[in-house]
Structure 1
């Protein structure tokens, strides 16, 4: 092999990382080199749930992301994965490093929960397994509890169906370099190829059957994570994630599935709990979540509050696991009086109390709810347009994109960013509409 300057620099970076790590047989990531012949970082890197002194670093090793058994073509043994955090993207000024064990029973996923870093700082990170080095990701710690930062750049997205369009919106979101990203659910969809087709036809296909088993969910998450645009968004900033329905089953509510189909483990509550358990495990394995969100069978606590100094509290909610079933057969119907029953819930009693307590205790300028559903009714009339029939709605648009916000102590602005097309990659992005909320002033103001 010809030795080039690039080869020399890459080799030097790798050697520096290995020499800094403990040299024991169990922990040394060089021991994985012989059995990992190709790059195992095909699913990218991510960080999440930032605190003033740390965050979670995530990766999942996969030699073959689309392997039918959901294990990514990895050997059935523990693989040591080294990580390091630096103050610069070139990874020269390393401030922390360590080693995690990627276990076969966790689909070789890694969650490194870091502490001891400085608040309100930008950091960079990467992983190593054997001779293979991951891409470098960017992340941030949140400000100290008592600090009020001048501004927070936060973007959010949801409902990304892989088959219905390319993920250019994630790429454009990453290019904005936000401080924080919220994903509000439907990160992945459960459908098999050909069962959920848009009017113009799907631009690419899901691998595998409808996700029912742990193997199915792991494979589907890997297919999404292998997308380069999604990887770019994960590597750009720390994420706060919650689910909606498609991470498990369309329109599921607590122990009620969409329909009673034994082939989908939907015929009994007990069987659906098995499906839920599989979906929850795969979700945790593939998201930058802290250990308190680790699932226990068919139960997984994902509602939590993340504080951004004195500027904002993000109350991330679960509006699926504890809710009453949707009325009207999950469809539209007039005069469904049961919807007004005071004992109906979308949060469950415990989560509702947690949220109310959070509001009462909050000293932040802004309290934001990270969740997936309307706060107001939306009436449907097929002779009339949505906006004409719902005067309380301020904006309606069916283009793909994301929302970019800037939060200061005086105002919150939201730019609705849209793509021209998603049937091929590379669409430009533009702002379709922009709104502002001023502190202490009720109502939404359109911006020019």
Structure 2
């Protein structure tokens, strides 16, 4: 942490607002004791390097949080664990040195879940910073840090949120996380493309493991494990709670529901099996609750988080329930197409209209604002994004007019694209109903040629007057959410082609309370 481990306690102006609102299934045996080594003497010794993938936390509540690790002494070869259940002890304390207020328990690392551990600790105090660690086979994990939420009706304070997405191992190192760690966010919101399913490239800065794309559970486990070995990613995971969702590359590029990118090459039954493997591997590597345990090719990812009375965060799933992508302008205007599905759409509208918070944030994997790719007269849309689902998107923007301070946080595009959200993009004079921040990628597309990027995209600005900022540097977005405004910084690095990089603020932007849209400067 850039300002030291006690910054939360010493900075009253930066209260930690972290909570999740969905019903959960508890998994923590918090009354059990930290087991002495003699209790494990009868078990066969475990391999060294059990905690090679680190630790993380996520989905905090006022009285609880999920703690995660996975036992993987041979991470790129299926994990390397014996085919048996392993007892993993966990320990948690409000004291960084674990001297006082210690909570202890035992969780089971089961082979059918890749020896991953998801501990849903309850009975914690609201608005507190905690430290945690795991022990198994006489080995101790690194120490992680997390935070609980305040009481749901708590008012005031602020929230520092980091928005990240799109980290392609083969396109470069995850250097933006080193700067994110220094900026010390309260929560990291990751909106998709945590891994990439592409096969290995001999010319890449870093080469994917394996010999091709992952299809089986073991192959997806190996791919996640490789990504988890990145030191900057692992350090950031241990530093703050994460709220995660997936996009397409966690499974297959541009898939929609149970339809793959290339149906002629992936029969339905085969793709359902691939979905089943991919969703299970996602669950096994993410700090999410038991409500996210997949049922075959289905997983529940849309959920709601409340940050006191300051902000509500609605996390969407824009892959699992969508209709197949349109391929034409006429198709994109088909009212039968859905991005969210009927149940998720009702859930989102109920959440937005029932919110009692000042800011209503929506984490959408893909861009909501229009992208007109055709200079001059006419339109050519980016169909994989909300542009391909015009009727549903436009109806949602109409609902935004009745919602207090809607702000959309997106990813997918591998660029920064910050926009006003308008009621009707066909009418540039229509009302501004919200703001959208499309975060750039952590590493995907590598170090782009900035001059070439602007030569391609700047001529389109006249056709997209709602764009406030476009850029193609690698990095992430950092938000300071307060009662009067959301202040945003676009943090970028000079390279992802080397293990170390220099970071800077490319731009500062603001969304003011009661004033939809984005202000520069």
Q: How does 1:129-278 map to 2 (within 5 A)?
A: 129-194=136-201, 201-208=203-210, 209-260=212-263, 262=265, 266-267=266-267, 269-278=268-277
Q: Who is 1:92 aligned against?
A: 99
The answer (yes or no) to whether the contact 1:251–1:257 under 8 Å persists in 2 is yes
Q: Who is 2:282 aligned against?
A: 283
Q: Who is 2:114 aligned against?
A: 107
1:222-264 superposed Cα distances (whole Å, 9 cap, x missing partner): 00011111101111110100100000000000011000354xx
The answer (yes or no) to whether the contact 2:51–2:70 under 8 Å persists in 1 is yes
1:174-224 superposed Cα distances (whole Å, 9 cap, x missing partner): 221111110000000001112xx9xxx520100012011111101000000
Once the two structures are TM-superposed, the CA of residue 302 in structure 1 deviates from its matched residue by 0.5
Give the distance between the partners of 1:121 and 1:90, measured in 2 at CA.
Answer: 16
- How many residues of Structure 1 are paired with residues of Structure 2 in the alignment? 408
Give the distance between the partners of 1:383 and 1:439, measured in 2 at CA.
Answer: 31
The answer (yes or no) to whether the contact 1:151–1:409 under 8 Å persists in 2 is yes
1:4-35 superposed Cα distances (whole Å, 9 cap, x missing partner): xxxxxxxxxxxxxxx9524698xx56666x52
Give the distance between the partners of 1:218 and 1:238, measured in 2 at CA.
Answer: 22
Give the distance between the partners of 1:362 and 1:75, measured in 2 at CA.
Answer: 48
**For the structure 1 residues 84 and 107, does the alpha-carbon distance in structure 2 shift closer, same or farther, using more than 3 Å as the test?**
same
In the alignment, is residue 411 of structure 1 matched against residue 485 of structure 2?
A: yes
Q: Who is 1:21 aligned against?
A: 34
Task: Give the SS at the match of 1:123.
Answer: strand
The answer (yes or no) to whether the contact 1:185–1:241 under 8 Å persists in 2 is yes
In the alignment, is residue 357 of structure 1 matched against residue 357 of structure 2?
A: no
Q: 380-389 or 341-350, which moves further after superposition?
A: 380-389
Once the two structures are TM-superposed, the CA of residue 386 in structure 1 deviates from its matched residue by 4.0
The answer (yes or no) to whether the contact 1:47–1:57 under 8 Å persists in 2 is yes
The answer (yes or no) to whether the contact 2:47–2:81 under 8 Å persists in 1 is no
Q: Who is 1:62 aligned against?
A: 72
Give the distance between the partners of 2:51 and 2:35, measured in 1 at CA.
Answer: 22
Q: Who is 1:12 aligned against?
A: none
Once the two structures are TM-superposed, the CA of residue 394 in structure 1 deviates from its matched residue by 1.0
In the alignment, is residue 422 of structure 1 matched against residue 504 of structure 2?
A: no
Once the two structures are TM-superposed, the CA of residue 351 in structure 1 deviates from its matched residue by 0.1
Structure 1 unaligned spans of 5+:
1-18
Once the two structures are TM-superposed, the CA of residue 388 in structure 1 deviates from its matched residue by 4.3
**For the structure 1 residues 307 and 383, does the alpha-carbon distance in structure 2 shift closer, same or farther, using more than 3 Å as the test?**
closer
**For the structure 1 residues 383 and 363, does the alpha-carbon distance in structure 2 shift closer, same or farther, using more than 3 Å as the test?**
closer
Q: Who is 1:305 aligned against?
A: 304
Once the two structures are TM-superposed, the CA of residue 343 in structure 1 deviates from its matched residue by 2.0
In the alignment, is residue 315 of structure 1 matched against residue 314 of structure 2?
A: yes
Once the two structures are TM-superposed, the CA of residue 77 in structure 1 deviates from its matched residue by 1.2
**For the structure 1 residues 30 and 374, does the alpha-carbon distance in structure 2 shift closer, same or farther, using more than 3 Å as the test?**
farther
Give the distance between the partners of 1:74 and 1:123, measured in 2 at CA.
Answer: 29
Once the two structures are TM-superposed, the CA of residue 297 in structure 1 deviates from its matched residue by 0.4
**For the structure 1 residues 91 and 383, does the alpha-carbon distance in structure 2 shift closer, same or farther, using more than 3 Å as the test?**
closer
In the alignment, is residue 82 of structure 1 matched against residue 89 of structure 2?
A: yes
The answer (yes or no) to whether the contact 1:323–1:346 under 8 Å persists in 2 is yes
TM-score by length of 2: 0.76
**For the structure 1 residues 383 and 113, does the alpha-carbon distance in structure 2 shift closer, same or farther, using more than 3 Å as the test?**
closer
Q: Who is 1:16 aligned against?
A: none
The answer (yes or no) to whether the contact 1:35–1:75 under 8 Å persists in 2 is no
Task: Give the SS at the match of 1:206.
Answer: coil
Once the two structures are TM-superposed, the CA of residue 422 in structure 1 deviates from its matched residue by 0.7
- The correspondence for 2:371, drawn from 361, 365, 378, is 378
Structure 2 unaligned spans of 5+:
1-31, 375-455
**For the structure 1 residues 365 and 203, does the alpha-carbon distance in structure 2 shift closer, same or farther, using more than 3 Å as the test?**
same
Give the distance between the partners of 1:326 and 1:341, measured in 2 at CA.
Answer: 11
Q: Who is 1:6 aligned against?
A: none
